[in-house]
Amino acid sequence: MSERPAIRVEGLWQVFGANATAALAAAKAQGGSRGDIAGRLLDQGLIPAVRDATFDVAPGELFVIMGLSGSGKSTLIRGISRLVEPTAGHVDIEGEDVLAASRKRMTELRRTRMGMVFQHFGLFPHMTVLDNVAFPLKVGGMGRKARHEKVMPIIEMVGLKGREAAFPRELSGGQRQRVGIARSLAGDCSVWFLDEPFSALDPLIRRQLQDEFLEIRQRLNTTIVFITHDITEALKLADRIAIMRDGVIVQIGTPTEIVLNPVDSYVREFSKDVAKGRHARVGSVMRSDAGDVGPDDPGLRSDMTLEAALASCMSLYEPVPVRDGDGKVVGMVHPGDLAKALQVEET
């Protein structure tokens, strides 16, 4: 992550209630940890929904924010996209200070750089699929013919070709969210916000849309902030995951780190139901000193899942070498450690 991050969020606070800005400044002036500050605000009857959130998202990265309902994740994404005005902090998107942007500039940014997908779709009930998808171009001043030509490939990409003239009420839930996705992409956004896009859908449709979403992502290479309350979804999609509780980001890490090294019981509780073997990789448990390996070489690679690795060295008791993608030995792992890593939750 040496290049400039696509999104940089620093010390973001979102406090609800009367005179929140002044109250937050006063509470901060008294010092102490973010927990102390939040406590003071709560005592005044204010609600600190997001508490001092800080993170970077690299260009092209798929960053998932996960937490239970009420953990502040939806508020956080609304603060970044400035659907609500953050109480304090900084948000840079592609080098531009978003919170300092004028109303006019903000409108422009939304037309050209940002796209957003909503949990309950947020489709305009009085417009057809075509008009819904083309709406960002319409408000941007593009002519009717031009915008319709521009959005047709997008509608085709999300698999809604032939339904352009339908109204949202005539579509199924999965189809509606396809419209929502298409609309958010109409403006050629480089930063894509998705607020629990698949939570309102049936499990089968959800999985199907997740797969299609990954395909679309491959093609577009946008920076993505994705909100979900579903750990399986987070692990399946994410490059990195931020876990939120009570407005605080408690851990940021790759899916493997989250599963294998939860920072506290809250995060562990999340990953409890996850089949760890399927999400953690050999690289996360291997030792890098490839010294004392045994005679057997079952051909482990560092990006293998634990499950697959364990299956191939089930009958072995000695440490085995681990190779990278090029076949070079990068470390070793003891089969016992593999088994142990899978049982972290039992302790």
Partner 1 sequence: MSALLKLSPGLRAALITVLTGALCLALEPVAPWLVKWPADWTLPATEWVGAALEWLLGGIKPLARWFSGLLGYPMAWANAALTQTPWPLIIGITTAIGWYLGGLAMAALGFVGLSFVLTSGYWQESMNTLSLVAVSVPLALIIGGAIGILANEAPRIKPAVQGVLDVMQTVPTFAYLTPLLLLFGFGPVVGLIASAIYAAPPMARNVLLGLERVESEIKEAAVMSGGTRAQQLFLVEIPSASLQIMVGVNQCLMAALSMVIIAAVIGGNNDIGWEVLLQMRKANFGPALLAGLVIVVFAIVIDRMSGALATERKRYDPRVAYGILALAILAALLAARFLPGPPSWSLFDGAAQWVDDGLGAFNTEHGAKLTDFKNNTMFFAFLPLRIGLDDAVLPFTWGFQWTNAMSLWFFGVAGALAGVLWATGRPVAGLMLLIAAGVIETGVANLPWPFLFVALGALGWVSAGRNLAVMVVVLLSTILLSGLWEPAMLSLYLSGISVFACAIVGGLLGVLCAISPLAWRFIRPVCDMLQTIPLFVFLIPVLMFFQIGEFSAFLAICLYAIVPMIRYTRHGLANTPGDLVEAAVASGATPMQILRDVRAPYAAPTILLGLNQTILYAFAMLVIAALIGTTGLGQSVFLAIGQADVGLGISAGAAMAILALIADRLVQGLAEERRRALGL
Q: Please report whether residue 183 would count as binding partner 1 according to CB under 8 A.
A: yes
Q: Please report whether residue 197 would count as binding partner 1 according to CB under 8 A.
A: no
Where do runs of H (alpha helix) occur along 1-102? Answer: 20-29, 34-43, 73-80
Q: Where are the beta strands (DSSP E) in 200-258?
A: 223-228, 240-245, 248-253
Q: Which of 79, 136, 174, 319 binds partner 1 (CB under 8 A)?
A: 136
Q: Of 120-128, 242-250, 295-303, 333-341, which segment contacts partner 1 by CB under 8 A?
A: 120-128
DSSP one-letter string for 118-132 = -TT----TTS-HHHH
DSSP one-letter string for 187-213 = T--SEEEEESTTTTS-HHHHHHHHHHH
Instruction: Name the DSSP letter for residue 250.
Output: E
Indicate the burial class of 203 (C-beta count within 10 angstroms; 0-12, 13-18, 19 or more): exposed
The number of CA neighbours under 13 Å toward the Cβ of 139 is: 14
Q: Of 119-127, 231-239, 289-297, 309-317, which segment contacts partner 1 by CB under 8 A?
A: 119-127
- Distance, CA of 89 to CA of 308 (rounded, Å): 44
Nearest residue to 56 (alpha-carbon basis) of 2, 5, 96, 11: 5
Q: Which of 184, 210, 222, 251 binds partner 1 (CB under 8 A)?
A: 184
90/138 with CB nearer partner 1: 138
Instruction: Tell the smallest beta-carbon distance from residue 175 to partner 1 (Å).
Output: 16
| Phi, psi (rounded to 5 degrees) for 47 | -115, 105
- Distance, CA of 9 to CA of 52 (rounded, Å): 10
Show the site string, 82-111: x = touches partner 1 by CB under 8 A, - = not.
-x-----------------------xxxxx
Q: Which of 119, 190, 222, 271 binds partner 1 (CB under 8 A)?
A: 119
Instruction: Tell the smallest beta-carbon distance from residue 341 to partner 1 (Å).
Output: 41
Q: Which of 115, 174, 283, 331 binds partner 1 (CB under 8 A)?
A: 115
Question: Which structure tokens are listed for 22?
Answer: 């002044």
Q: Please report whether residue 322 would count as binding partner 1 according to CB under 8 A.
A: no
Q: Which of 44, 124, 307, 318 binds partner 1 (CB under 8 A)?
A: 124
Q: Which of 18, 45, 95, 126 binds partner 1 (CB under 8 A)?
A: 126
189/258 with CB nearer partner 1: 189
Q: Which of 38, 116, 243, 259 binds partner 1 (CB under 8 A)?
A: 116
Decide if 250 contacts 72 (C-beta within 8 A).
no
**Interaction site with partner 1 (CB under 8 A):** 78, 81, 83, 107-112, 114-116, 118-126, 135-136, 138-140, 180, 183-184, 187, 193
